[in-house]
Structures are given as C-alpha cells and as structure tokens.
Amino acid sequence: MMRAHKYFLMIIVILFALSIGASSNAGLKFWEKEKTETEKQQELKQKKIDVKAEKAEVLQMTKETLNRLYKLQPAARKAIANSAGYAVFSNFGMKLFTVGSGIGEGIAFNNTKKSITYMKMVELQAGLGFGIKKFRLIWVFEKQSNLNDFINSGWEFSGQASAAATTGGQGAYITGAMSVSPGVWLYQLLDDGLAAEFTGKGTKYYKDDDLN
C-alpha cells in the first residue's frame, strides 16, 4: 500500500513537472513569436528608411547631372522641357582585360503626368582593356510612346549600337545630343565634358522594383 502511494506521489510530481515544462515552453514560444514580430517590424521600418534615403540620393544625382548638362549645353534645358519625358542615369563601370561590366541607377520622368519611375541599368562589354569609367546619361524622348516603351519594356543596346552627337540641321534644337533612334536622344557626360560619340554594348535599362 505504501509502495502504491509512493508511485502515486511520483506520478503526481511527474505530471506537475510536465505541466510546468509545457507552460514554460508555451510561454517561451509566445515570447519568441513576439520577438520575431518585433524584429520583422524593425526590419520593415529600416527598409523604408533605406529606400527613402536611396530615392533621395538618386534625385540629388539627377539634379546635379541636369545642372551640369545645362551649363555645358544650355539648349538642352529647352529640349528636355519640351519633350514627352527624359531619363537620367549615373553609371560606374570597371573593365579588366577582356570582360567588363557596369551598373547604374537613375530615374525616368514623365513630363505629361509629372511622374517618376526609378530605374536601373546594367552593362556587359567585351574587348581588351583595363580601367574604370564613370559617366552620366541623359535620355530625351520626343514621343510618349518611346518613353513608355523605355519605362515598361526597358531599353537594350544589343551588340554594338552606336550614336553620334548632332551639330546642326535637323534636330539642331537638341545639339550636342546623340541620335539613338527617331525621336530618341542621348547626352553622355564624362569628366571632361559631353561625349561626341557613345557606344553601348549590351546595355539594358529596367524598373527598380525596390524603389517603385
């Protein structure tokens, strides 16, 4: 009888211990969940801060690029103001021996809707050489359809498409820009001024999903 009573007490103790353990685990899981949710909120908040900061950097780059362009080519101000829209990009590229790459970011601005689309660019090129290059690109679109295609479908230079700057005649109002295609113009800013010729090798432009 005493042994049975002893076993009964042991069972009670074990059940009590298990219930305490279960409660502790439940409480631990509860707090872990709360902590995870808090961390998620913090990460989301930080992401919003980072996105806002990156947008501000892109807008500042755009402002500086346009101001520099207008000083070098005053007629560009009127060309951009009268266009359907424009896009501004900052590029940083590195070339090592036979393979090169470049990445960049920028915006496309719709003059009609007064809307901004944040975009990215990526460039792959081949050919012997070594060096680092930095430049700014300003696209000008005379037609809304060309601007829409650039934003929604992206623009890609396949192979080795080249463009040369105009100096007069047709399109003289956009002197200094390169004629890429009918109604599409491009200014390229280098450290020493406007480029007279641009060669795009496998350059692609597309929407920045993180910023839009």
The answer to whether residue 176 is domain-embedded is yes
Mean pLDDT of 24-46: 67
Distances in Å between the Cα of 32 and the Cα atoms of 23, 29, 44, 169 are 14, 5, 18, 71
The answer to whether residue 15 is domain-embedded is no
Amino acid at 150: F
The answer to whether residue 80 is domain-embedded is yes
List pLDDT tens digits, range 15-30.
444 455 555 555 545 5
The answer to whether residue 106 is domain-embedded is yes
pTM to 2 decimal places = 0.71
Q: What is the number of structural domains in the chain?
A: 1
The answer to whether residue 191 is domain-embedded is yes
Q: Which domain holds residue 141?
A: 70-207
List pLDDT tens digits, range 98-146.
444 567 899 999 999 999 999 998 876 544 444 456 789 999 999 999 9
The answer to whether residue 59 is domain-embedded is no
Cα 22 to chain centroid, rounded: 49
Q: Which of 135, 109, 141, 142 is nearest to 121 (CA)?
A: 135
The answer to whether residue 198 is domain-embedded is yes
List pLDDT tens digits, range 73-106.
999 999 999 999 999 999 865 444 444 456 789 9
